Structure 1
Amino acid sequence: MALVSGYHHLTMSTHGVQEDYDFYTKGLGLYSIKRTVLFDGVIPVYHLYYGSPAGDASTIITTFPFKKPGIFGRRGTNQSRTIMQSIPVGAADFWVDRLNGMGIPAVKGERFGLIRVSFAHPCGIPHELVENPDDTRTPIANPAQGVSGAHGIRGIYGGAVAVMDAGTMEEFLEHGMQFRREGSDDRGSMWIVPEDNGLHSALEIVIDRDSPQGTWTLAGGTIHHLAFNTGNEENQYALKARLEGMGYTDVSEQKDRNYFKSMYMRSPGGALFELAWTVPEGWAKDEPADAIGKSLVFPPWFEDRRAEMEAGLEPAQF
């Protein structure tokens, strides 16, 4: 039995707060589903969540805008490289026209037989919208931003990971994570992420032996981690035990992320993976279910520092 069912979320360290918020909500038509702060360390940095109106697990993109602290990273190899989201078949031309019209250079291409639109976040992180015929999720319509159900993003398609040594990473994906190889090309390989309700997400490997080692810390302009959904705590601990039993012993202890519980591990290819499951209260743990993402919320352990942290956050209009 697969212990993972699809992605939970994808997380980046970006630059400016306003450009980040506008890119995902006004550009890509996603909804703000949570505004909080970085739970680790003491630097006052926003943690912004975007996705479907209800914040469904397989739709969530999250960011840490690091412009104000002035911490910037290096994109390179042995690091997650590309954020990928799924769109309906035939929607690529709409997105090429829309993004270019908004001043976001976008081009249409293909890999593994799938049409995709390539562009970049304002901080430079590569993004792709992939026409996925196997994805049956309802597209995210956002009429206020000019995105209809015919073209809207369905959710996460996956991520691309750049590696120097494909063999060790592929062994980990197949035997550790229980992913299935779907194809290979001269650049790398494509792996299917198990799903409870059908095939609609993947992880792509890009062999890169020329770029410098990418940054692994929380630093602007880089992807921090790819999070996979274990569905519940039992599967999470079972996967931790499976990986540790195979010798992948750097799986972290469980961390409380308020809305979900997480474990982290550095994959052999360098990309940081998260194993996550949503707690029963979900996004409504600290906001009304019909008003998630409307206010700035803090985890209980930061409430006594709220004023200090709010003063340190980069100003933005949400």
Structure 2
Amino acid sequence: MIKGHHHISIYTKNLKENNHFYTKVLGLRGVKVTVNQNDVSMYHIFYGDRLGTSGNSITYFDMPYVADRREGTNAHHALGLLVKNSESFAYWQRRLEHFGHSSEKEEYFGRNVLEFQDPDSLKLVLFSAEGQVLPEEWEPWTNNDVNNDHLILGMGPVQVNVRDKDKLVRMLTEVFKYDVIEDESDYAILHANKGEMTGEIIISEKEGNIEAQGRGTIHHLAIQTEGANLQAVDEILKESGYRTTGVIDRYYFKSLYFREDNGVMFEIVGPAARGFTADVDETELGMQLDLPPNLEEKRTEIESDLMPLSEWT
């Protein structure tokens, strides 16, 4: 039912620092500049591969006045990124240090990884994709100075901290048919497609205060259905006792949102999407403010409330 991750959305306090980190340090493409369709005074930026394909999009909401978050539970916690193999870890340690960012090789739920943070304090984890079959539509961005053998390939495991692990496991397995790969007393690892890290969710059971959202907070993880009509998914969720937003047309794709029983937000993206070249040529992706048709008539008003692109790109 689920193809894998579609995108992940986070809050940034400093868009210039954020853009520099993801495009110049990590070497991703700034693939789309648009606005938060629920608050058009806020940029919504997408970073990813050549076309911003499903499972490759890391998105940020520009919130210059947001407070620092207070880490806690019942929240998405960390984002995994895939590289070719573990030999890339040494390369990325050197590269991150060159740009003033520290990193550590760690053991993370039984696997060797490289951990570091972005400028908004989001925890990022590099995983080796050795032995993995990656989506054939992924095309890592090469118009950068990152060695081609060590490019960021796409999104990997996403960690979620919750007070009640079993509730989230039941929702993902019963509603969305995830496979349980590991299930220990304090964590579980689930795959959208068994054996593939491109749709992996790590659920860590953690007591304590609920995370206070702020800079570096993951607002939601978006997962993409495969061969399942969004309206049918909406009905299944409601029949299972979840409140949803109903299907929303974001122009580039259609989706719905809901919170699972711990209060963690998920977005479900439909199988069909226009993609980011729906309104601009591939060569111009990320170079201008793109607005869906329903907002185009308000362009002048919207642009007047936004920091000019020349000040942060």
TM-score normalised to the size of structure 2? 0.89
92, 95, 106: which is aligned to 2:92? Answer: 95
Which AA in structure 2 matches 1:101?
Answer: H
Alpha-carbon contact 1:35-1:46 (below 8 Å) kept: yes
Q: 1:65-84 alignment to 2 at 5 Å?
A: 65-67=62-64, 69-70=65-66, 73-84=69-80
Aligned partner of 1:170 in structure 2 is 169
SS at match of 1:98: helix
Aligned to 2:22: 24
* Structure 2 partner of 1:307: 300
1:105 CA drift (Å): 1.3
Deviation digits for residues 69-122 of structure 1, max 9, x if unmatched? 446544321011111111112222211221122111111112243221111111
In the alignment, structure 1 residue 270 sits paired with structure 2 residue 266: no
Q: What displacement does 1:199 show?
A: 5.6
CA distance in 2, matches of 1:8, 1:142: 17
2:240 to 242, 246, 258: 246
In the alignment, residue 292 of structure 1 is paired with which amino acid?
Answer: L
- Evaluate the alpha carbon distance shift between residue 29 and residue 307 of structure 1 in structure 2; reply closer, same or farther with a 3 A threshold: same
Q: In the alignment, which residue of structure 2 is the partner of 1:202?
A: 200
Report the alpha carbon displacement of residue 185 of structure 1 after superposing the two structures with TM.
4.8
Helix, strand or coil for the counterpart of 1:205? strand
RMSD: 2.3
Q: Which amino acid in structure 1 is aligned with residue 76 of structure 2?
A: S
Aligned-pair identity (%): 27
CA distance in 2, matches of 1:294, 1:17: 15
Structure 2 counterpart of 1:86, from 82, 87, 106: 82
Cα distance in 2 between the residues matched to 1:188 and 1:161: 10
Aligned match of 2:43: 46
Match of 2:252 in 1: 259
Residue 194 of structure 1: how far off its partner (Å): 2.4
Give the C-alpha shift of residue 157 in structure 1. 0.6
Quote the residue 2:229 is aligned against.
235
The residue type equivalent to 1:159 in the other structure is V
Partner of 1:59: 56
State the 1:277 CA deviation: 2.9
Q: For 1:223-270, what per-residue CA distance to the aligned partner results, in whole angstroms no more than 9, with x for missing partners?
A: 0100001146x432232222222222x122111111010100101232
What letter is aligned with 1:174? T
User: Match of 1:223?
Assistant: 218
Deviation at 1:37, TM superposition (A): 0.8
- What is the CA–CA distance in structure 2 between the aligned matches of 1:290 and 1:117, rounded to whole Å? 33
Q: Does 1:282 align with 2:279?
A: no
Q: Report how far residue 206 of structure 1 moved.
A: 1.6
Aligned to 2:286: 293
Work out which of the residue numbers 106, 130, 150 in structure 1 matches 2:127: 130
Determine if contact 2:5/2:222 at 8 Å carries over to the other structure: yes
Cα-to-partner distance string for 1:55-76 (whole Å, 9 max, x where unaligned): 2111111110201x44654432
Residue equivalent to 1:150 = 149
Q: 1:135 to 1:287 in 2, by over 3 A?
A: same
Q: Secondary structure of the equivalent of 2:97?
A: helix
| Corresponding residue of 1:159 | 158
Deviations 1:136-184 (A, max 9, x none): 3378655553213311111111311111111211111221221111124
Q: Structure 2: how far apart are the matches of 1:199 and 1:119?
A: 19
Deviation (angstroms), 1:132: 2.8
Bigger drift between 164-173 and 177-186 goes to 177-186
C-alpha distance in 2, partners of 1:187/1:173? 17
**Counterpart contact for 2:3–2:199, Cα < 8 Å:** no
Matched residues in 2 for 1:65 and 1:237: separation?
30
Q: 2:8 aligns with which of 7, 10, 34?
A: 10
Instruction: State the one-letter code of the partner of 1:222.
Output: T
Aligned residues: 308
Other structure's SS at 2:276 match: helix
CA deviation after TM superposition for structure 1 residue 221, in Å: 2.4
Q: 2:132 corresponds to which letter in structure 1?
A: D
- Give me the whole-angstrom Cα distance separating, in 2, the residues matched to 1:103 and 1:209: 33
Q: Is the 8 A contact 1:45 1:66 kept in 2?
A: yes
Unaligned runs of 5+ in 1: none
Secondary structure of 1:6's aligned partner: strand
Structure 2 stretches lacking a partner, 5+ long: none
TM-score, normalised via structure 1 length: 0.88
Distance in 1 of aligned mates of 2:67 and 2:224: 29
Partner of 1:35: 33
